[in-house]
Amino acid sequence: MLISPPNSDEYGEWYAGYVARAAKTSVIHTLVRQPSTLKKLLRGISDAAASVRPAPAEWSIKEVVGHINDGERVFGYRLLRFSRGDTTPLASFDENTFVDKARFNHIKLGDLLDEFAALRSANLVLIRALTPEQLALRGVASNTPASVRAMVYIMSGHVDHHLESLRKVYLK
């Protein structure tokens, strides 16, 4: 399945970096490989080590993975709603509040990684079933129009952004 990159009018400007990351390779291939890439990257890290914040204003590894899961849910929900023709405006979400309330450091790292794999697997079933007409549909999230196609690219780019952060900040 080939999904061409979205045009810049299909997403909010703050997502441009995510879309650009995802546009470098086949977005479907990237979506498929990301759960195993994340799992391999974090293999061998203890739950205790994954619960430590590298700095007071930074998230722990578990919190980063939990945030990835929250993002997968939110972007997947937007993708679902938009692909079904629902034009009801959807609210934004505050990722810091989500992380603060989630208590990710009390969850095993392996469980968080398994959760991401399950969420992504479900989203891939949805994405692969989309028609070209559905991919072009648009909705509104965070007071900004966005297409279904853009949501696919944002999902991929969001995870790639955090993979890079984990490599550079946490696992250096």
Taking 70 as the pLDDT cut, the residues of the chain under it are none
Tens of pLDDT, residues 41-90 = 999 999 999 999 999 999 999 999 999 999 999 999 999 999 999 999 99
Q: In angstroms, how far is CA 44 from the centroid of its own chain?
A: 23
Spans of all domains in the chain? 10-170
| Spatial contact of 89 and 3, defined as CB atoms under 8 Å apart | no
C-alpha span between 3 and 13 (Å, rounded): 20
Q: What is the pLDDT of residue 172?
A: 80
The type of residue at 127 is: I
Q: Given 3-state DSSP classes, what are the helix, strand and coil percentages for the chain, each rounded to the nearest 5?
A: 65, 5, 30
Q: What is the pLDDT of residue 63?
A: 98
Q: What is the pLDDT of residue 1?
A: 76
Q: How many CB atoms lie within 10 A of CB 60?
A: 19
Burial of 71 (C-beta count, 10 Å sphere; 0-12/13-18/19+):
buried
User: Is the CATH number of domain 10-170 3.40.190.80?
Assistant: no
C-alpha span between 105 and 48 (Å, rounded): 9
Whether the predicted model's global pTM rises above the 0.85 cut: yes
| Spatial contact of 117 and 31, defined as CB atoms under 8 Å apart | no
Burial of 172 (C-beta count, 10 Å sphere; 0-12/13-18/19+):
exposed
